[in-house]
Structure 1
Amino acid sequence: MKFIRWFLGRVILLLNFVFSPKGVKRSDEAQQQVDAKAQSHALYQFEACPFCVKVRRAMKRQSVKFDLRDAKNDQTHRAELEAGGGRVKVPCLRIEKDGAVQWMYESSDIVAYLEKEFA
């Protein structure tokens, strides 16, 4: 079973690489504003998780770069996710706004948030 998961994960990553989406073209000033806004976000994820790939593809379509935190192999990030969000479930977007922290778990919710906030 572990081999099947590993193999399917590699297939997902290969297909993501081959069929990578194009990003939004913005002026330098507009992209700098998006980058500044994105600095207060972090995505807790597993590399080959299909739902995490879905969120990373949406990020690429919106030309947004968040801090990607590997909650599978990095125990520090895993502990942060569990302590802050309450459970180890990925993908999880950590949004820090005005000193408050929000944890968003569902990939569809994260994609909708990206389209709303960064389009």
Structure 2
Amino acid sequence: MIVKLVRNALGLVIVSVDVLTRWSRVKRTPEAQQKVAQAAQGMTLYHFFACPFCVKTRRAIHKLRVPIEKRSAVQGSPHREELIQGGGKVQVPCLRIQHSDGREEWLYESKQIIGYLNDQFGPA
């Protein structure tokens, strides 16, 4: 019980610091931003709200201005079941990428997810 209380309190602090210290976002023309939005349509981020690695990943998404759907994978959520069925395990953050050829890719590590997003949507 105490561990859960401490974890929740620390999570709230982490999220608060994240919101207060977000850096500037990538600047794009409206046309370029539209292309980013189209490319991101097949992406979904499974996350926990207060997870430090999820916060790190959401910060990168915010900075890159990539409109990725976010789904909470907390216990009892139907999104948690999607994560288990598709990716095979409950580990967050997890980026589900639905490629145009129909195949799915599940990226589990925040560093790997951020690297992929930087490669796809980072400044040239």
TM over 0.5, shorter chain: yes
Task: Map 1:1-119 to 2 at 5 A.
Answer: 1-72=3-74, 75-97=77-99, 98-119=101-122
Q: Which runs of 4+ in 1 moved over 6 A?
A: none
What is the number of residues matched between the two proteins?
Answer: 119
Q: What amino acid does structure 1 have at the position aligned with 2:107?
A: M
Q: What amino acid does structure 1 have at the position aligned with 2:64?
A: Q
RMSD: 0.9
Looking at structure 2, the residues matched to 75 and 107 of structure 1 have their Cα atoms a distance apart, in angstroms, of 21
What TM-score results when the alignment is normalised by the length of structure 2?
0.93
For 1:2, what is the secondary structure of its paired residue? Answer: helix
Q: Where does structure 2 lack aligned partners over 5 or more consecutive residues?
A: none
Looking at structure 1, the residues matched to 23 and 74 of structure 2 have their Cα atoms a distance apart, in angstroms, of 25
1:20 deviates by: 1.0
Give CA-to-partner distance per residue, 1:17-37, whole Å, 9 cap, x none: 110121101000000000010
What TM-score results when the alignment is normalised by the length of structure 1?
0.97
Looking at structure 2, the residues matched to 74 and 50 of structure 1 have their Cα atoms a distance apart, in angstroms, of 21
Q: Where does structure 1 lack aligned partners over 5 or more consecutive residues?
A: none
Looking at structure 2, the residues matched to 73 and 38 of structure 1 have their Cα atoms a distance apart, in angstroms, of 26
Looking at structure 2, the residues matched to 103 and 110 of structure 1 have their Cα atoms a distance apart, in angstroms, of 9
1:74 deviates by: 5.5
Report percent identity of matched pairs.
47
1:92 deviates by: 0.2
1:106 deviates by: 0.3
Q: What amino acid does structure 2 have at the position aligned with 1:109?
A: Q
Looking at structure 1, the residues matched to 9 and 112 of structure 2 have their Cα atoms a distance apart, in angstroms, of 28
